[in-house]
Structure 1
């Protein structure tokens, strides 16, 4: 019974606070807003909250890739808007098939990321300058492409718009819950056996079934609530799938391990034989591709693109989402799940204040305070790890 506190205390002493501050913040946000407005936890509002998470969360996943290197990407918002515009023009104006238009948008995002990565590694330009130039340049290209009409509407009943208006059947939703919980338990057991075989320290045997059971309860509660409204939205499933895939990639592939190594200490990684230039370029390619995917999801939700696509506070919210979720600004530490946790915090604050009719100025100040607190916790964690 005392194993869990001992494990947590040891991790905290090493500077590994994990997701506990974010989870605690989510609980506090839920209690406050549900007390002030009984509609906050209603099935309809929580379903809308799930829809709002997908686009920003997907862009934040890309931001996490460059933050793990200790770099920054200020162009993510502009890239998302530009690639969504390219997709919409190809589909609506040029008559491309919807899937081909989406692939074109993702390819455009990858090409932009490749350009950013080459400018960073070959020209030795700071990522701040590279992506700041990208923010302005890609926004200018977006405005140029939309100069005649300003807005292009997607077919209302088309495939792209249907992504945000598709809901999973109840049985399929429950099957996904069981599959995810079972897969998590299986992966945990296999990973534990592999570590034992390699003579590495392992977590207690009870941890895997307890965590998988907790995951099943949380996911089951979410499905039950959303099923009381329209059901589980496909957008949320797509975002969740991206989170799981990227987390597996970061933790169980050579690229993921090298990404953490370069972010932790680039010179040490180079001396260990890691191709630092290749890792940095791939990270920026992945970041811009995910920004493009976020733009596609945002266009699907609005059924249109316009001169404001990818603008407003999307970039700032994506960066805040990654940092609040637990990704270190100093590189080398973070998980893909940071996007899910961070976007839950950001969107819950936004949604709760909207229900209370709070002015947007207050929302920005509250979000800024939460972001500052997250960075402070990260700084304290690094100081603890150094000691």
Structure 2
């Protein structure tokens, strides 16, 4: 293979300008800096902000970096972060879902009611509401069939089957029911936006209010449905892996990351395709493995403030979030569906002319969003041990959308990754946790969170303008 000459100084090295199989580490770093100057910041601002927040709160509070607080921090924002991971799919196609929060709340309310009523949703809802609820599930299945989103059809029918069967309370059935209800909600939202052509802002704002009313109908104003008496449901967000399980998770996660990264790298090298320099790939793999090993070692230490109680192990929410992150990243980066998601968000008309079913892709993004939001509801309901009438309300929505944007996902579509939501969610959870340790009132937390979100949106807009000016 012939090696081309280096690009001129100051120019970004692209796949078409140089054979990057021969790129040196210095050239790769120069390419990265050129892309930063061109406005392609990615999640770098969020990562730098997270580091700054950790340094700030560590200097102001002796408790912030304690093992118990770090473990609590991981679980504190996990549910909302998971909702944000679903919202990334909607943002990528250039849309917005303002109903994701209350959709998750509705799924959580159904889960809690099924548990509290021992599977008797007819008794819990009342005859009229029960009939309407199942009619909505049938409607969701029909709309999913019209969109040819077959998983949506299956999950809507599963929700109806569980509802009508009256099977006794079982935590695994409850979680499946919540997921199925979330999927059904996504089918309805996706059909209205993608098939009917209604603006997603208007549709999801209306559905935000609708699902909020549904939650009130299910639970009652001021009502609470407790789920903490279920060991399985309680352990989802409050339990921890054993020490052996924690290290097994590290081996699987770090080993899997290394195998995928190195395997792909050397396959591309062998085929003469563009790839990053081997030293950078090894550095990245080694850094992830080292971070994981240190984190696992620390979390397997007893962190209980009570000497008579032992609390150790990696929280269950960590493998849950890692699993979702892995699946979402794989789907977006390694599948045709993921490429279509980016294509539709980047240029809808060009995607349509290329033969992509834009309607189906956009609708499916809402299905993914609501389904993942239901999983988030399971986690945050487990964390607090109950579902109330405010579940999935405005704070949850703002946290989720804010997390995706703060992490680097673009509000304008076509740019973003699932890990952006994780980074952004960690930033917002850190703000809430740190200010809480400093005994700051809710008003201060809200103001700081809003300013962080405003800053992230400003960075996004400016970086897009810079990229357009630079011709990227």
Structure 1 residues not aligned, in runs of 5+ = none
Question: How far has the Cα of 1:24 moved from its partner?
Answer: 1.0
Q: 209, 212, 216: which one pairs with 2:282?
A: 209
Q: 361, 375, 380: which one pairs with 1:298?
A: 380
Question: How far has the Cα of 1:193 moved from its partner?
Answer: 4.1
Aligned residue in 1 for 2:98? 74
- 64-73 or 96-105: which moved more? 96-105
Question: How far has the Cα of 1:148 moved from its partner?
Answer: 8.1
How far, CA to CA, are the matches of 1:122 and 1:86 in structure 2?
28
- 16-25 or 171-180: which moved more? 171-180
Map 1:71-220 onto structure 2 (within 5 A).
71-93=95-117, 94=119, 95-147=168-220, 150-196=223-269, 200-220=273-293
Aligned residue in 1 for 2:459? 377
CA contact (8 A) 1:62 1:287 kept: yes
| 272 and 176 in structure 1: CA distance in 2 versus 1, 3 angstrom threshold | same
Q: 349, 352, 360: which one pairs with 2:431?
A: 349
Q: What SS does the aligned partner of 1:156 have?
A: coil
Q: What SS does the aligned partner of 2:274 have?
A: coil
How far, CA to CA, are the matches of 1:163 and 1:383 in structure 2?
43
CA contact (8 A) 1:146 1:307 kept: yes
Map 1:1-16 onto structure 2 (within 5 A).
2-16=26-40
Say if 2:331 is the partner of 1:258: no
Question: How far has the Cα of 1:145 moved from its partner?
Answer: 1.1
How far, CA to CA, are the matches of 1:149 and 1:361 in structure 2?
23
Q: Number of paired residues?
A: 387
Say if 2:79 is the partner of 1:55: yes
How far, CA to CA, are the matches of 1:83 and 1:232 in structure 2?
27
Map 1:222-371 onto structure 2 (within 5 A).
222-228=295-301, 229=303, 230=311, 231-371=313-453
Question: How far has the Cα of 1:249 moved from its partner?
Answer: 1.0
Aligned residue in 2 for 1:31? 55
How far, CA to CA, are the matches of 2:192 and 2:296 in structure 1?
45
Say if 2:124 is the partner of 1:42: no
| Structure 1 residues 181-202: Cα deviation after superposition (integer angstroms, max 9, x where no partner) | 2222221223334544665421
* Bigger Rg, structure 1 or 2: 2
RMSD: 1.7
Q: What SS does the aligned partner of 2:93 have?
A: coil
Structure 2 residues not aligned, in runs of 5+ = 1-24, 120-167, 304-310
| Structure 1 residues 282-322: Cα deviation after superposition (integer angstroms, max 9, x where no partner) | 10000001111111111111221111111241100111000
How far, CA to CA, are the matches of 2:77 and 2:199 in structure 1?
30
How far, CA to CA, are the matches of 1:312 and 1:117 in structure 2?
21
Question: How far has the Cα of 1:97 moved from its partner?
Answer: 2.0
How far, CA to CA, are the matches of 1:294 and 1:61 in structure 2?
9
